[in-house]
Amino acid sequence: MKVSNLQFFILCIVLLTSTSCYTYRNTGLLQENNRKLPVYETSDYKKYKIRINDEIIYRIITIDETVSKIMPASAGSSTQNMLSYRVHSDGTVDLPFLNRVPVEGLTIEEAEKTVGERMRQIIPDAEIKLTLANKTFTVIGDISSGIFPVYKERLTIFQAIALSGDLLQSGDRRHVRILRESDEGTKILEFDIRPASIIESEYYYIYPNDIVYIRRSPSSFYKVANYGSFLGLITSSITLFFTVLYYTK
């Protein structure tokens, strides 16, 4: 049985309606009742460990006025005007009064303890505070790209995305990627950001030097932002169809 042009056109409209709009299941975050989404296991948070080429800022706290005069920046609370010290390829860092302190593979707290023990051999009352100068992450792809600060420990993927201005509707939430440096080289972590089980998973926290990549969804070409835009598309399509039908008769 032959299908008339009008029936065929109506069928196309119905199919287009079911696939051309963004829905909560496609773009919604923290979904709990969608069985099609993956379920991620919880993972313990691991503190960032210092790596080669990291830039370290340190501050000495002491009542020794001589040290304060030699290192006036050590008395300040702002890191913007402080000098940073690069971790060498052998995993050590050269600091004022100290040479070749091994810090690679240590957390900031562990490095503070190591540097403090060495410093107190010279300045008995010295207290050491360390921080990273390169505490940033990068966002690229179908989102407002940029380089942003890791302004606190345990910065989450949602907070990182919020800093860049939120995901575009056309962003592929099924295949978010994080490029992360590790001892074995750069790892690529790929995950679906929509399920609620992402909380406390290995994909939940952002670390210094991470690169978050949001690619454009392949299906975004066929989708419109809202039903108002969709109705406009349908109206234009119907007008075009009847115009072509009129001139072909």
pLDDT digits (tens, 9 = 90+) for 182-194: 888 899 999 999 9
According to DSSP, residue 181 is labeled E
Alpha-carbon distances, residue 184 vs 158, 180, 187, 188 (angstroms):
27, 10, 8, 12
* Number of separate domains in the chain: 2
Query: Is 54 in a helix, a strand, or coil?
Result: coil
Closest by Cα among 199, 180, 224, 182 to 42: 199
More confident residue, 41 or 23: 41
pLDDT digits (tens, 9 = 90+) for 77-107: 455 557 889 999 999 999 988 989 999 999 9
Does residue 237 fall inside a structural domain?
Answer: no
At residue 20 the predicted structure's pLDDT band, cuts being 50, 70 and 90, is: low
* CA 3 – CA 199 distance, rounded (Å): 51
pLDDT digits (tens, 9 = 90+) for 30-63: 999 899 999 999 999 999 999 999 999 988 888 8
Q: Please give the pLDDT value at position 201.
A: 97
138 near 152, Cβ under 8 Å? Answer: no
Question: Same structural domain for residues 154 and 110?
Answer: no
Q: Please give the pLDDT value at position 211.
A: 97
Joined tokens for residue 73? 């920046």
* Host domain of residue 166: 24-47+135-221
pTM to 2 decimals?
0.76
Put residue 97 in one of left, alpha, beta given phi > 0 → left and psi -120 to 50 → alpha. left
Q: Please give the pLDDT value at position 71.
A: 66
At residue 249 the predicted structure's pLDDT band, cuts being 50, 70 and 90, is: low
Question: Same structural domain for residues 90 and 114?
Answer: yes
* CA 142 – CA 159 distance, rounded (Å): 17
More confident residue, 54 or 2: 54
Question: Same structural domain for residues 145 and 41?
Answer: yes
Question: Same structural domain for residues 76 and 121?
Answer: yes
142 near 214, Cβ under 8 Å? Answer: yes
Question: Same structural domain for residues 89 and 207?
Answer: no
Highest mean pLDDT out of 52-61, 118-127, 202-211: 202-211
The whole-chain average pLDDT of the chain stands at 82
Does residue 141 fall inside a structural domain?
Answer: yes
* CA 104 – CA 144 distance, rounded (Å): 33
Closest by Cα among 111, 160, 157 to 131: 111
Task: Look up the CATH number of the domain holding residue 118.
Answer: 3.30.1950.10
pLDDT > 70 fraction of the chain, expressed in percent and rounded = 74
Question: Same structural domain for residues 43 and 118?
Answer: no
